[in-house]
Amino acid sequence: MAYKNLSVTYGAFWHGIWQPGRIEPNRRLYDYELVWFSSGAGRVIIGDKVYKCLPGSVIIIPPAVVHCTVADTAVERWCIHFDWYGDCPFHADNSGKESYFVYDDQGDSLFVPSLAASAPGFPAADFPYFCRSVPPEVYEYIRTFFQICASDRLSAIGHLMLVLGAVFNAKRTHFESPASVLLKAKSIIDREFSDCTTTAGSVAASCNVSINYLNTLFKRNLGVSTTGYILSRRLEYACTLLSDSSMTVKEISALCGFNDHNYFCRLFKAKKGVTAGEMRKETAV
């Protein structure tokens, strides 16, 4: 069976944070809207279904359906309006962001179904299309899209296609959830922090994710960067060795994964408030 060639184009796009408790009025779209939740928790209500969205969730909302979004916590969302063939009738004469949808409290008669974008002519998915969690590269594609969409439309369309491809493939491919990636990375660090070759980059590579994505997981859930967590484990171990070992401070710094003894000394004083030698004397008393 032959399908019409895709010619994906994008319209309005928006990124921002909603405060807890915000409830969007019911509305209908003239095109498709891809929404990625990068932090927080919220719900998208469409028809008789409620889609619970967490960090990493993606939902694609089709035209004409009544829907609304609820922020259960402070939620950060990235929204891209698009159509599949570049032929959405409403786009031709309406370029303003607010024109891409109609709120029901304005009156149902304002929405003109014949001006909505046509559905893709391939059995890729049923809409609304929801993924509880998508691969980490989607984050990079969306961030890049927002960086270039105003200046390089052709490249932006390419990145939007990458986003759509990764989202549609997500349900057919096994990948680790954000929580699994975090626990895996933390386990690697907990085992190997004393190895001087253990870095944020090496841990990210072992988990098959980018450093930026891994840092986001650590900061969001543990309050520190990946490197910050590695250093904290090394300093904790150093404190243990200072109280239980007769080794020199230089020997201890090397055993804890520090190649540079002077850096270890500066970092120890900055984080602990005393020098390593002073702590040894305190614990010996």
CB 132 within 8 A of CB 58: no
Taking the chain, what is the end-to-end CA distance rounded to the nearest angstrom?
Answer: 83
**In this model, does residue 108 exceed pLDDT 70?**
no
Give the mean pLDDT of 244-273.
92
Q: Which residue has the higher pLDDT, 71 or 90?
A: 71
pLDDT of residue 179: 82
The mean pLDDT value for 25-37 works out to 93
Range with the poorest average pLDDT among 50-59, 97-106, 153-162, 208-217? 97-106
Q: Is the pLDDT of residue 50 over 80?
A: yes
Residue for token pair 């994964």: 257
Residue 97 pLDDT exceeds 50? no
Q: Is residue 105 over pLDDT 60?
A: yes
Token digits for 212? 């930026």
pLDDT of residue 174: 52
How far apart (Å, rounded) are the C-alpha atoms in residues 222 and 42? 21
- Of 71-75, 89-93, 110-114, 224-228, which range is least confident? 89-93
Cα Rg, the chain, nearest whole Å: 25
Asked if the model's pLDDT at residue 177 lies above 80, the reply is no
pLDDT band at 1 (very low <50, low <70, confident <90, very high): very low
pTM: 0.62
What does the pLDDT average to over 85-101?
Answer: 67
Q: What is the percentage of the chain residues whose pLDDT exceeds 70? A: 89
Which pLDDT band, with edges at 50, 70 and 90, does 93 fall under? Answer: low
